[in-house]
Amino acid sequence: MKLQLLSDLHLETEDFEPQPAAGAELLVLAGDIDASWQGFERFAGWPVPVLFVAGNHEFDGRELAEAWPALRERAASLGWTVLERESLVLTDRAGQRVRFVGTVRWSDFDLFGDARRDAAMRAAAYFMRLMRATRQGAAFDAEGVREEALACRHWLAATLQEPAQGRWDKTVVVTHFAPSFRSADPRFGAQPGTASFCNADDDLLVHADLWLHGHLHCRHDYRVARDGRPPTRVVCQARGLADKGEADGYEPGKLIEI
Ligand SMILES: [Fe+2]
Ligand SMILES: [Fe+2]
């Protein structure tokens, strides 16, 4: 299966016109597409199926409990399939069955271990205030993010343990947040704020043939070795913010093959 992956387009402020990649059988949107949701319209009539995993900015200024059903309705009106703690098996042109497993994942702040979690959560407080989101009426703060993140992690770990039993040939995980410190933005490295971007999901990588993510405003394409099987490929195709130079060299038409 040939995939196109886009994330972190930030159409709420960025000027970017998405184009279908030649040869792609599927478009995966890995979050932070548009905080206002207006720019989703630019994908209307997209020629191939669209899978959407939300990013943190899709919830800016919103109440989570209300935003989720509204986001699903908006996505359905465009013909997108939303994956949030959900999976879906699609058959490609060659007859290969690919399981897509999707969740925002959020950040649990466990990236640097228990001893450094408090510092990571303090660093996150700034980002959470900027987001101005609420969860069950209370400010969606670092503690709330961690609770959401742990629920996502629990679901993801359980889902990835399920045996295929002939139901799929390959597994692709799609998260907005990154699964490993290997995906850290080299501009920021191992500082506490990085735990707001990457999770220590390295133990789960072994269950995926391909892991797609966004959130880091840089690109990644690396492989992590597995015993007796081809390595797991991890790809981030975030565009980021043009005025920070993050979009320099961006290749939105890159094809990823699974
Ligand atoms: Fe982003
Ligand atoms: Fe993000």
Residue 49: both structure tokens together: 């199926």
| 35 CA from centroid of ligand 2 (Å) | 10
| 54 CA from centroid of ligand 2 (Å) | 9
Model confidence at 57: pLDDT above 90 = yes
150-168 residue pLDDT tens: 999 999 999 999 999 999 9
| 84 CA from centroid of ligand 2 (Å) | 15
Average pLDDT over residues 44-56: 97
| 58 CA from centroid of ligand 2 (Å) | 9
| 168 CA from centroid of ligand 1 (Å) | 31
- The CATH number linked to 24 is 3.60.21
Mean pLDDT of the chain: 97
Q: Do strands 97-103 and 86-91 pair parallel, antiparallel, or not at all (unpaired)?
A: antiparallel
| 117 CA from centroid of ligand 1 (Å) | 22
Length of the chain: 258
Residues 6+ apart with CB under 8 A from 2: 23, 24, 25, 26, 255, 256, 257
Total count of domains within the chain: 1
Classify 45 in phi/psi space as left (phi over 0), alpha (psi -120 to 50) or beta.
Answer: left
**In this structure, which amino acid lies at residue 216?**
L
Could you tell me what percent of the chain has a pLDDT over 70? 100
In eight-state DSSP terms, residue 139 is E
pLDDT (0 to 100) of residue 13: 98
Model confidence at 133: pLDDT above 90 = yes
pLDDT (0 to 100) of residue 127: 85
Domain limits at 166? 2-257
| 55 CA from centroid of ligand 1 (Å) | 7
Q: Do strands 229-237 and 255-257 pair parallel, antiparallel, or not at all (unpaired)?
A: unpaired
